[in-house]
Amino acid sequence: MARPRRIVLVRHGESEGNVDDTVYEREPDHALRLTETGRAQAVVAGEQLRALFGEEPVSAYVSPYRRTLQTFRALALDPARVRVREEPRLREQDWGNWQDRDDVRLQKAYRDAYGHFFYRFAQGESGADVYDRVGAFLESLYRSFEAPDHPPNVLLVTHGLTMRLFCMRWFHWSVAEFECLSNPGNGEYRTLLLGDDGRYRLDRPFERWITPQSYDLDG
């Protein structure tokens, strides 16, 4: 098994929805574009990733949303060294329809009170749903490591919540631990590094917005 030395998760650059939440009333979430600031963030991330990967090959998986595809293109990685696939399981948490701004703000307030992992948006997904499909993607990713010529680098261009849930699944974090974590900033990335002991470690933690609340497994 040729496990990669590093697995890099990149959040898309700033999108239209990050600066104007009324756009969801007119455009589908998956169709939102990067802003000029978002493109600039992706360009900076690309400079850092090209230095990180050097001359090594990369296996890349990209969410099918427009803003993630645009982010990947703006990274400007060498196409001769990158094998890229569109991966729907790495998409954003689905809302399932156009969104009314006031209703969304209310639902997000409910989610903050109820819990980000279990709360299900009307007509959409819960964090637990995203966790399940990320887990299914991980099974496919593990199988790809069986190829003896698998690249030493894996790149995932995705969304903030999906990044956190990927790490939750990979490192077996509890729901309570997940609930306390904040999304990385637009255009930021985290890297899972393979150590000499055969275990992966996160290069830097996600910021916390609350102290995790733990529950006793015995009740």
Which residues participate in catalysis according to the annotation?
A: 12, 92
For the record, the structure tokens of 155 come out as 């790149």
Question: Angle at Cα 209 formed by Cα 94 and Cα 137, nearest 5°?
Answer: 35
Report how far residue 219's alpha carbon sits from residue 212's, in angstroms, rounded to the nearest whole number: 17
CA atoms within 13 A on the CB side of 93: 24
Report how far residue 91's alpha carbon sits from residue 157's, in angstroms, rounded to the nearest whole number: 9
Contact 121, 143 (CB under 8 A): no
What are the backbone dihedrals phi and psi of residue 189, each rounded to the nearest 5 degrees, phi first?
-140, 160
Contact 40, 12 (CB under 8 A): no
Report how far residue 86's alpha carbon sits from residue 156's, in angstroms, rounded to the nearest whole number: 10
For the record, the structure tokens of 168 come out as 């939750």
Quick one: which of 150, 133, 123 has its CA closest to 63? 133
Report how far residue 146's alpha carbon sits from residue 119's, in angstroms, rounded to the nearest whole number: 36
